[in-house]
Amino acid sequence: MPTEFIPLCEPHLAGNEWPYVKECLDTGWVSSVGSYVNRFEATVAEYVGMQHAVATVNGTAALHIALLVCGVQPGDEVLVSTVTFIASGNAVRYCGAWPVFVDCDSAYWQMDVAKVAEFLETRCDFQHGEVINRSSGRRVSAVMAVDILGHPMDMDALLEVARRFNLKVVEDATESLGARYKGGRVGSRALVSCFSFNGNKVITTGGGGMLLTDDEELARQARHLTTQAKSSREEYIHDQVGYNYRLTNLQAAVGCAQLEQLESFIAKKVAIARSYQEHLALPGLTWQLQAPWASSIYWLFTIVVDEAAFGMSARQLRDRLTALNIQSRCIWEPLHRSAAFPDSEVLGGEVADRLYDTALSLPSSVGLSEPQQARVIDAIIKQCR
């Protein structure tokens, strides 16, 4: 009997997307200027708790611009989580800088700040307000920490270390819009934070991103760089090499409609996670934990499969689920192992390597129905009988 395919994470477009997009088409405001772009920026800024927002074509572009406005120079080094999507590392290379990867902790899977502190204290020199990595001779100018899989990283701990060493902090919050950290929203404490509105993120604009900051001057620079560095209103005069990174009004219209549904999307993601936790308490299965200071949006609910205790590996379980028409996904190859970053330095890496072998993300779409989730749970339980 053919069974219905259950995807890992698909968009949910159930609100005002259609009327808002229609308005753009009816009025001709389809491109990179328009009221929806401004409204989308203002609404996200207010929601997250940052003063300024600059919408971009995608999250990767937002990260690239964030590093540029933080003053990251070619030949610099940037500390980056190694357990993340490749875009975090790519953005560093777009600036001509080099990533130094940082392992994560084993409970919440976020950047291990103790490793960052140890590296800065014991393996770098701090001279004239600059950090120099003794082994490479390069300047370390920024830290990019990622809020992985919907869960916040420990930003206060990182900010304390970064302050001591005069490092700029960029938060890759692309996976965690709406998550809470010590009462505030994720993305509200770093110097610059970035979000993505790709199709699989908690809200989508098809493709899109945003950069947020409380610093008016950095926001001005970011807006300038994302719009080809045009320096005259009337004429085509540009004062530096800029980028065509601005989000279109059409996409922002979808974003405004999606934002109206964000709280219900998060509630659904949390309910999905609770149900997995309730039903998957099986020998050999654990999952990404939630810190006492955090409230996760559970973007992708991710289990850890202990092969010996469960009776099969994460990849074997994935293949069984695939055969049952259920999509699941191993997490990213740690960036320190990626062919994209040969010979990169990594601080630790053992936790990341272990997660790569054992972690598996389960279907977590906002539209996942109870019978669909029951099918996923039954399929997993049957594998270990």
Ligand X SMILES: *Cc1c(COP(=O)(O)O)cnc(C)c1O
Residue among 32, 82, 110, 174 that touches ligand X (CB under 6 A): 174
Identity of the residue, 196 or 221, whose beta carbon is nearer to ligand X in the bound complex: 196
Distance CA 273, CA 63 (A): 28
Per CB under 6 A, 196 contacts ligand X: yes
Query: Contacts with ligand X in 134-153 (CB under 6 A)?
Result: 146
Per CB under 6 A, 296 contacts ligand X: no
Residue among 84, 249, 296, 364 that touches ligand X (CB under 6 A): 84
* Minimum distance of ligand X from residue 291's CB (angstroms): 18
* Minimum distance of ligand X from residue 374's CB (angstroms): 28
378: Cα within 13 Å, side-chain hemisphere: 7
- DSSP designation for 111: B
Instruction: Determine the interface stretch with ligand X among 170-178, 226-234, 255-263, 310-318 (rule: CB under 6 A).
Output: 170-178
* 367-374 long-range Cβ contacts below 8 angstroms, 24+ apart: 367/10, 367/12, 368/6, 368/268, 368/272, 370/275, 372/4, 372/6, 373/272, 373/275, 373/276
Identity of the residue, 146 or 379, whose beta carbon is nearer to ligand X in the bound complex: 146
Distance CA 182, CA 186 (A): 9
Q: Which residues of 115-138 are buried (b: 16+ CB within 10 A; e: fewer)?
A: bbbebbeeebeeeeeebebeeeeb
Identity of the residue, 272 or 300, whose beta carbon is nearer to ligand X in the bound complex: 300
What mask, x for binding ligand X by CB under 6 A, covers residues 50 to 79? --------xxx-------------------
- Reading the block at residue 375, the tokens are 């099918």
| Closest among 277, 303, 284, 299 to 355, alpha carbons compared | 303
Per CB under 6 A, 88 contacts ligand X: yes
Identity of the residue, 265 or 310, whose beta carbon is nearer to ligand X in the bound complex: 265
Identity of the residue, 146 or 186, whose beta carbon is nearer to ligand X in the bound complex: 146
Instruction: Determine the interface stretch with ligand X among 85-93, 136-144, 314-322, 339-347 (rule: CB under 6 A).
Output: 85-93
Identity of the residue, 362 or 380, whose beta carbon is nearer to ligand X in the bound complex: 362
- Reading the block at residue 368, the tokens are 């996942």
Residue among 80, 87, 219, 305 that touches ligand X (CB under 6 A): 87
Q: With the CA atoms of 112, 113, 114 and 117 taken in that order, what torsion angle do they form, in degrees rounded to the nearest 10?
A: 140
Per CB under 6 A, 347 contacts ligand X: no
Q: Which uninterrupted H or E stretch holds 62?
A: helix 59-69
Instruction: Determine the interface stretch with ligand X among 83-91, 222-230, 259-267, 301-309 (rule: CB under 6 A).
Output: 83-91
Distance CA 63, CA 19 (A): 31
Per CB under 6 A, 176 contacts ligand X: no
- With the C-alpha atoms ordered 134, 355, 107, 84, is the resulting torsion angle positive or negative? positive
Count of residues interacting with ligand X (CB under 6 A): 14
Provide φ and ψ at 366, rounded to 5°: -55, -35
> For binding to ligand X (CB under 6 A), which residues are involved?
58-60, 84-85, 87-88, 146, 172, 174-175, 196, 198, 209
